[in-house]
A = this chain, B = another copy of it.
């Protein structure tokens, strides 16, 4: 997959020939499907952010209260990352690099709204941006450690632990007692 190449070698570091070989067609044929290298990248971003957005819409937004939503978000993100490592890594690289002055459409946009409402309603003890960073940042770092082979934990256990930790971080204890 071109994803693997882009996410490991960068955008300039991946050549059309690399991609053609990986996909099993020839250089020229690629230009039947995409107008340019840049176009390939944009399509990939679109696809991946679409997938994640869809998962969030189906799994996260359907939950009723903010705690369940956070739990679900963590589960969705970790599962997506570990099931689609190249895609997840690709997205991270895309967001960090600004090779062409792109202004990365963060898929967090849908989520931030959730946190804003919860924060406004007093159901979140932490400012929305910090909450979002806590979740996404943690997952990203854990993913890197996992890829480096430094994370021996089983996935189910990992998800549980992260849920627990994030819950403690984001919500008041009293609140937790009331709900729990």
Binding site for B on A (CB under 8 A): 8-13, 89, 92-93, 95-99, 103, 106, 126-127, 129-130, 132-134, 136-142, 144-145, 148, 150-151, 153, 158, 161-162, 165-166, 168-170, 173
CA distance A91 to B106 in the complex (A): 21
Q: A138 touching B142 by the CB < 8 A rule?
A: no
Chain B residues positioned under 8 Å from A103 (CB to CB): 148
**Which of B139, B142, B169 makes the CB contact (< 8 A) with A165?**
B169
Q: B11 touching A10 by the CB < 8 A rule?
A: yes
**Which of B13, B139, B161 makes the CB contact (< 8 A) with A97?**
B13
Q: How far is the CB of A167 from chain B (nearest CB, A)?
A: 9
Q: B145 touching A8 by the CB < 8 A rule?
A: no
CA distance A133 to B84 in the complex (A): 20
Q: B129 touching A142 by the CB < 8 A rule?
A: yes
A-B contact pairs, 13 of them (CB 8 A): A8-B97, A9-B98, A10-B11, A12-B13, A126-B165, A127-B153, A127-B161, A133-B141, A134-B165, A137-B137, A168-B169, A169-B169, A173-B173
Q: B133 touching A138 by the CB < 8 A rule?
A: yes
Most chain B CB within 10 A, of A103, A138, A161, is at A138
Q: What is the chain B residue whose CB lies nearest that of A101?
A: B8
Q: How far is the CB of A127 from chain B (nearest CB, A)?
A: 6
Q: A92 touching B96 by the CB < 8 A rule?
A: yes
Chain B residues positioned under 8 Å from A97 (CB to CB): 8-10, 13, 93
